[in-house]
Structure 1
Amino acid sequence: MTYPSRAALRLSLATAIGLFLTANAPPRDYRPSFRPETLKGPPAGVRNEVLVLGTTHLSNLPETPSLAHLAPLLDRLAAWRPGAIATEDLSGLQCDSLRRYPSRYAESVDTYCGDPTAAGRAVGLDVPAANAEAERLLAAWPAAPSPGARRHLAAVFLAAGERGSALVQWLRLAPAERRAGDGLTDELRAKLDKTMTQRNETYLIAAPLAARLGLERLWSVDDHSADTPESPDPAVRKAAENAIRGAWDNPSSQARRVADERLGKGFFQPGGVLALYRAMNAADAPALVYRSDFGAALAEPSGRGFGRNYVGYWETRNLRMVANMRDVLGRYPGTRMLTIVGASHKGYYEAYLNQMHDVHLVDASAVLR
Structure 2
Amino acid sequence: MGKTIFSKALPLLLAAMLCMPLLALSQRSLEKTEVLILGTPHLFSMEKFKPSMLDGVKEKLNSYDFDIICVEKMPGQLLYDISRRKDTAFNGLTRMQKHIKLADSVQSYLGGDFLASKAKTRELTSRELLTNKDRKDLLYHFVATTNIPAAVLQYKYLQQSPDVFTTEMDRYVSDFLKKRLSGNNEYFSLAVPLAFKKKLNTIEPIDNMQDMALLSKYYPSFVTDFKTHPEIIEKVMNSEVLKKSDSLTKEAVASNDLSKLYEFLNSEEYMEEDYDAQWKIWFETNFPSKSDMARYSLWEMRNLQISANIMDVVARYPNKRILVIIGSSHKSFLEKYLKQIESLNLLSY
**TM-score normalised by the shorter chain: which range applies?**
0.7 to 0.9
Q: Name the SS of the counterpart of 1:198 in structure 2.
A: coil
- Distance of aligned partners of 1:124 and 1:267 in 2 relative to their CA distance in 1, 3 Å threshold: farther
Tell me the secondary structure at the aligned position of residue 158 of structure 2: coil
What amino acid maps onto 1:131 in structure 2?
Answer: K
Aligned twin of 1:230: 216
Pairwise CA distance, 1:105:
5.1
Q: Deviations over 1:332-368 (max 9, x none)?
A: 210111101000001001111101111111111xxxx
Q: How do residues 1-369 of structure 1 correspond to structure 2 at under 5 angstroms?
A: 44=29, 46-66=31-51, 68-104=52-88, 106-112=90-96, 114-115=99-100, 116-139=103-126, 141=127, 143-177=128-162, 180-181=165-166, 185-226=170-211, 227-228=213-214, 230=216, 236-242=221-227, 246-250=231-235, 253-270=238-255, 272-364=257-349
Taking a change above 3 Å as real, the CA distance of residues 229 and 179 of structure 1, as seen in their structure-2 partners, is farther
The Cα shift of 1:127 comes to 2.6
Question: CA, structure 1 residues 312+244, in 2 after alignment: closer, same or farther (shift >3 Å)?
Answer: farther
The aligned amino acid for 1:195 is: R
CA-to-aligned-CA distance 1:114-172 (integer Å, 9 cap, x gap): 23233223323333332122113334x2x332212111110110011100111111122
The one-letter amino acid paired with 2:122 is E
Q: Secondary structure at the match of 1:344?
A: helix
Which of 286-295 and 99-108 deviates more? 99-108
Q: Which sits farther off after the overlay, 282-291 or 122-131?
A: 122-131
How many residues align? The count is: 320
Q: CA deviation at 1:316?
A: 0.2
Change (3 A) 1:337 1:253: farther
Whole-Å Cα distance in 2 between the matches of residues 297 and 160 of structure 1?
A: 37
Q: Percent same amino acid at aligned positions?
A: 21
Please say if residues 244 and 307 of structure 1, whose CA atoms lie closer than 8 Å, have aligned partners that are also in contact.
no
Distance in 2 of aligned mates of 1:184 and 1:166: 15
Deviation at 1:254, TM superposition (A): 2.9
Whether the 8 Å contact between 1:151 and 1:182 is mirrored in structure 2 is: no
Shift of 1:219: 0.9
Offset at residue 228 of structure 1 (A):
1.7
**Amino acid paired to 2:265:** M
Q: 1:288: Cα distance to partner?
A: 1.0
Q: What is the distance in 2 between the residues matched to 1:353 and 1:263?
A: 28
Partners of 1:245 and 1:117 in 2: CA distance = 44
Counterpart-to-counterpart distance in 2, 1:331 and 1:275: 33
Q: Quick check: 1:104–1:228 contact (8 Å CA) kept in 2?
A: no
Q: Over aligned residue pairs, what C-alpha RMSD do you find?
A: 2.5
Q: 1:105 to 1:304 in 2, by over 3 A?
A: closer
Contact map agreement 2:38 2:326 (CA 8 A) in 1: yes
1:45 shift after superposition = 5.0
Deviations 1:217-266 (A, max 9, x none): 011000124432636998x3543332675434326753233223212222
Looking at structure 2, the residues matched to 169 and 312 of structure 1 have their Cα atoms a distance apart, in angstroms, of 38
Question: What's 1:35 paired with?
Answer: none
**d(CA) in 2 for partners of 1:211, 1:243:** 48
Deviates more, 1:312-321 or 1:266-275: 266-275
Q: Which runs of no fewer than 5 residues in structure 2 stay unpaired? A: 1-25
Q: 1:43 to 1:230 in 2, by over 3 A?
A: same
Determine which structure has more spread, i.e. the larger CA radius of gyration.
1
* Partner AA of 2:107 in structure 1: G
In structure 2, what is the Cα distance between the partners aligned to 1:232 and 1:86?
Answer: 30
How far 1:275 moved relative to its partner? 1.0
**Structure 1's 52 and 232: CA in aligned 2 closer, same or farther, altered over 3 A?**
closer
Deviation at 1:43, TM superposition (A): 5.7
The gaps in structure 1 that reach 5 residues or longer are 1-40, 365-369
Query: With structure 2 as the length reference, what TM-score do the two structures score?
Result: 0.84
Change (3 A) 1:324 1:182: farther
Distance 1:264 1:345, change over 3 A: same
Query: Match of 1:337, SS?
Result: strand
How far residue 208 of structure 1 moved from its aligned partner, in angstroms, is 1.2
Distance change in 2, residues 1:253/1:128 (3 Å): farther
Query: Retained in 1: the 8 A contact 2:44–2:185?
Result: yes
